[in-house]
Copies of this chain bind each other. A is one copy, B any other.
């Protein structure tokens, strides 16, 4: 029998995780300063690893680094939402296409992604935020099927972005139809399985558009109108369905 090689994370990654969570959970607010000394005292470590953790968060865009002046938690805005969803749409199209083709050539391991979908089924009707989180997990697993390392990683990054939006823009997926969501996912998986790339893309793009629509629900008409006046929206998302 063989064991799976365990590779532990570095201290810096562990620290970055903690700080990231603190931001995502709202313990740290946009504009807050991250002071190395302070953090090193509360984490009971030296400044070195803390520094490294802050750099990690900086490349993720969660904090802004100003030379000689430390790091501050950065603030997202509406434009970012549109850009991130646009990226998820097109990176997803590539990954889903690739996965469809891989499925035709060799057998594709749908184990992980099926598991995520199962988790979503179990959560139907429950907490909305939990469903968002599970949906993001499902999507990540789906995109990983494409086995394209850069795209997979970039997609993972946009999931962090969405976490930020959910927290700081007050975005919610309330009232979304969980069952419809899941049945769409099932169709998507099926399309990939039989190698129907164009159908898979269609479903994928539809899902992203629905996500954007759900995101926008809680906002006042004025805000939404302003948002949909932005150039990106016109082209990538079906604005007429939303208003």
| Residues of A in contact with B (beta carbons under 8 Å apart) | 7-8, 10, 48, 51-52, 55, 59, 61, 67, 80, 83-84, 86-87, 90-91, 93-94, 97-98, 101-102, 105, 148-151, 154, 197, 231-232, 234-236
How many whole Å from A238's CB to the nearest CB in chain B?
Answer: 15
Complex partner residue of A236 from B86, B94, B232, B234, CB under 8 angstroms = B94
Residues of B within 8 A of A98 (CB): 231-232, 235
What distance in Å separates the Cβ of A97 from its nearest Cβ neighbour in chain B?
A: 5
Taking A67-B7, A87-B94, A91-B90 as contacts, is the C-beta distance between A235 and B101 under 8 angstroms? yes
* CB <8 Å contact, B91 and A87: yes
- Nearest first, the 7 A-B pairs at minimum CB distance are A101-B231, A90-B90, A83-B148, A59-B59, A86-B94, A97-B235, A83-B150
CA separation between A154 and B91, bound complex, in Å? 12
Chain B residues whose CB sits within 8 angstroms of the CB of A235 once the complex forms = 97-98, 101, 197
14 extra A-B contacts, CB within 8 A, seeds A52-B55, A98-B232: A7-B67, A48-B48, A52-B52, A59-B59, A84-B150, A86-B151, A87-B91, A87-B94, A87-B150, A94-B236, A98-B235, A101-B235, A105-B231, A197-B235
Q: How far is it, in angstroms, between the C-alpha of A234 and the C-alpha of B231 when the chains are bound?
A: 32
A97 to B98, CA, bound (A): 24
